[in-house]
Amino acid sequence: MTGLLLWLLTNGVAAGQFDQSHAVWDELLQNHVAMINQGRASQVDYAAFLQDRQTLQRYLKQLSGVDATTFSGWAKPDQLAFLINAYNAFTVELILTRYPKLDSIKDLGSFFRSPWKREFVPLLGRMISLDDIEHSMIRKPGDYDEPRIHFAVNCASIGCPGLLNEAFAGEKLEQQLEAVTKAFLEDRTRNRFNASTGRLEVSKIFDWYTEDFERGWGGWHSLNHFLVHYADSLTDNAQDRMAVASGNFKVRYLDYDWKLNDKK
């Protein structure tokens, strides 16, 4: 049994005691994440995180101390903020297990098992993987049905939406999700309208998770409806904006950059 799991079983967080502001994680993010490209992306100072690893692990223990019963009693925004922060914080911890001797999070996997399937996360009374947090909890149909989480969870890669330099919190989750969504869509290295071809060139994320954008969030039932809604963020001039807002476009998915989102 790992030390962290033992701590979980003997030092659970009683109902009402967990810090819903995620203050420890918030301070770490403010200190070690730099927003770049006018806030549309970020770089993570993993070297500084490594120096501050004890503080990070203190936060991870706070997360792990929450039991399933306590979690189920929270409001949905508090639950979702908790899961997003857990995914991001445990991802940083995973990177630190080999940093600086890696170029990509994929270096932490093997031919037989991806890094996202490693069961190293003690959460809600179980030892689970990052994939379990994202796919079995955050994306579980009927629980949250919130496609904007794809712009909040961070896979430690340049192609991924930036790691926000503040913790997600239930009381402001709606504003945060809307802000990170618009910031990502405004990044022309990853999302743009090509007027010469009439194609909307967007992140591979929209290809991988098309079904999440088709579950009726916001009353829309297609990826195109979602993209039309954010026409202002996807374009830079009135003519292009009208073309996207009309919905009369084809989509091309851009290559994904898996290099580590490290501050250089």
The per-residue pLDDT for range 36-46, each reduced to its tens digit, is: 999 999 999 99
138-148 confidence digits (pLDDT tens): 999 999 999 99
Burial 62-85 (b: 16+ CB within 10 A, else e): bbbbbbeebbeebeebbbbbbbbb
Q: Quick one: CA torsion of 5, 8, 9, 11, rounded to 10 degrees?
A: 140
Q: Quick one: CA torsion of 91, 92, 97, 98, rounded to 10 degrees?
A: 100
Confidence at residue 248, expressed as pLDDT on a 0 to 100 scale: 87
- The pTM of the full predicted model, rounded to 2 decimals, is 0.93
> What is the residue type of 77?
P
90-102 confidence digits (pLDDT tens): 999 999 999 999 9
The stretches in the chain having pLDDT less than 50 are 1, 4, 6-10, 14-15
How far, in Å, CA of 254 to CA of 264, rounded?
24
How far, in Å, CA of 227 to CA of 245, rounded?
8
Phi/psi at 72 (5° precision): -65, -20
